[in-house]
Amino acid sequence: MRERDDDCETAMVRSRLALHKPRASGLILAGTGAFLAFGLSGCATGPNAPGHAEFRTPLPIPPLAESHLDVKGRRVFDLETRSGSREFRPGVRTPTWGINGNHLGPTLRMTRGDRVLIRLRNALTEATTMHWHGMELPAEMDGSPHQLVEPGEVWSPTWSVDQPAATLWYHPHPHGATEHHLYTGLAGFILVDDSQAETLSIPSTYGVDDIPLLVQDVAFDDNGALVRRKPWYNQVGPLGRTILVNGALTPFLEVTRDRIRLRLLNASIARVYNFGLSDDREFDLVATDGGLLAEPHRTRRIQLSPGERAEIVIAVQPGDRVALRSFPQELRSDFANNRFSGGRDTFELMELRARDVLEPSPPVPNRLASIPDPEPEEAERTRHVRVSSRTINGRAMDMARVDARIAAGTVEIWEVEGIAVPHNLHIHGVRFRVLDVDGVAPGPELAGWKDTVYLDPDVVTRLLIRFPHHVSPDVPYMFHCHFLRHEDDGAMGQYLVVPGE
């Protein structure tokens, strides 16, 4: 069952066709002569290739992390980062890292209004951090590169949960090594509940009809170790041809109810997924990064770049067997960049297997949440943010440099442009709205709360952002590309929340 992650590109390079595309592209195509393949409509290699996937493993559901209330009424979670190993493929042990286990971590479940305390012990032999992606909290609790936890140390951030129900996640953020730490297995879900969302008739029984799916692509060397390979013509970061869902290769899920909610998390370091179902059935998109949409959006596809989340509800018939698939993507990059960024790949991720008799569940309601219309006139200033593969606004990340000082609670418009190749932008500490992309109002998939957004190359995506109320005069929040090679190489900046007038 050996596979290589670069079969496609190797095949493509063999087909050698010079490309002369005089675009200001990150690819150094002109002059060196680039290689391009026609006729490869998605790569049909690897264990997740359509027609190859066998769906033999039951889908692992991440356990809910245990918690208790301390004397101050805080919900306390104990987490430990440690090294271990995992048998992804029969008979092959792969060294991994995990949280409270060998690989990946438990799901932290918390409710709006909770005060939480997390005691994170680092049992690894190198320093790491833990970032609560999408959580609105004080900068010193955020798990950024400034909150490094040395081996053997315990870090104990605490905050009050005050944001709508949403699918968030956690992962390390050490400067220059985020890709390595996430890829080796440090990641898990955070589910935020609120009293309003709890009254909605959408599937919500964890592990039964409410299923978290953490999706990552990996590659192995001949000894079964995880490797990251990035050929020079790939501008996004290492891509693997083996897709893991909750750490399992092509799992299946036995479906017992006639509607199922999937919480999709792209926890890959560089790959974008365009999720859909193998029979092309429609589903309801009900939530994006920061929470529920105002109303469900009926669609066949939802594309997520690294760090983004979406919740979908799928109607299932008795006896159904349908695969969750990643279809060719719309990266809106030039042909070569699209190809070498995995944009034409198709993968089977997992299979839904419905029982012959299904318990009924109510239809998805027409209204989900109240989301105010964005009011751009609230913005006190507009900032331009140009994201390249190693810089933001021409400057590489410097832990000692603050890139923006923003008064607590103020609203700004950020005009964000990703240069030449696929990028995205994640802003810590906030939920934001997408005003427009290249001047056009966003579709329903970008109309709700977001904290990470894909950037169509070389066009302006305008964001409306209300910044945190919590003032931390010395500790900045990060904003960065979540294609992690770019982040590690310097495509990250820092903003400081300062007192208002």
Residues of this chain that interact with Cu ion (CB under 5 A) are 423, 481, 483, 486
Nearest-approach distance from CB 179 to Cu ion, in angstroms? 12
Element (H, E) at 485: helix 484-489
Measured on CA atoms in the order 281, 48, 234, 401, is the torsion positive or negative?
positive
Nearer to Cu ion by Cβ, of 112 and 230: the residue is 230
Nearest-approach distance from CB 439 to Cu ion, in angstroms? 22
Nearest-approach distance from CB 15 to Cu ion, in angstroms? 28
CA distance 463 to 450: 10
Nearer to Cu ion by Cβ, of 410 and 424: the residue is 424
Query: Three-class SS string for 202-267?
Result: CCCCECCCEEEEEEEEEEECCCCCEECCCCCCCCCCCCCCEEEECCEECEEEEEEECEEEEEEEEC
Nearest-approach distance from CB 486 to Cu ion, in angstroms? 3
Nearest-approach distance from CB 61 to Cu ion, in angstroms? 32
Q: How far is CA 96 from the centre of its chain?
A: 20
Nearer to Cu ion by Cβ, of 55 and 414: the residue is 414
User: Which backbone phi and psi does 476 adopt, to 5 degrees?
Assistant: -85, 160
CA distance 492 to 401: 11
Nearer to Cu ion by Cβ, of 121 and 486: the residue is 486
Q: Provide the β-strand partners of residue 78.
A: 119
Tokens, residue 126: 């190198």
Measured at the CA of 480, the angle between CA 474 and CA 484, to 5 degrees, comes to 125
User: Which backbone phi and psi does 392 adopt, to 5 degrees?
Assistant: -125, 125
CA distance 422 to 237: 10
List strands edge to edge, sheet with 131-133: 108-111, 188-193, 166-171, 131-133
Nearest-approach distance from CB 233 to Cu ion, in angstroms? 16
Nearest-approach distance from CB 420 to Cu ion, in angstroms? 10
Query: Three-class SS string for 332-395?
Result: CCCHHHHHHCCCCCCEEEEEEEEEEEEECCCCCCCCCCCCCCCCHHHCCEEEEEEECCCCECCE
Nearest-approach distance from CB 422 to Cu ion, in angstroms? 7
Nearer to Cu ion by Cβ, of 432 and 483: the residue is 483
With beta carbons less than 8 A apart as the criterion, state whether 310 and 212 touch: no
Nearest-approach distance from CB 337 to Cu ion, in angstroms? 12
Nearer to Cu ion by Cβ, of 433 and 486: the residue is 486
Nearer to Cu ion by Cβ, of 90 and 394: the residue is 394
Nearer to Cu ion by Cβ, of 271 and 423: the residue is 423
Nearer to Cu ion by Cβ, of 285 and 484: the residue is 484
Comparing C-alpha atoms, which of 149, 188, 191, 158 is closest to residue 69? 158
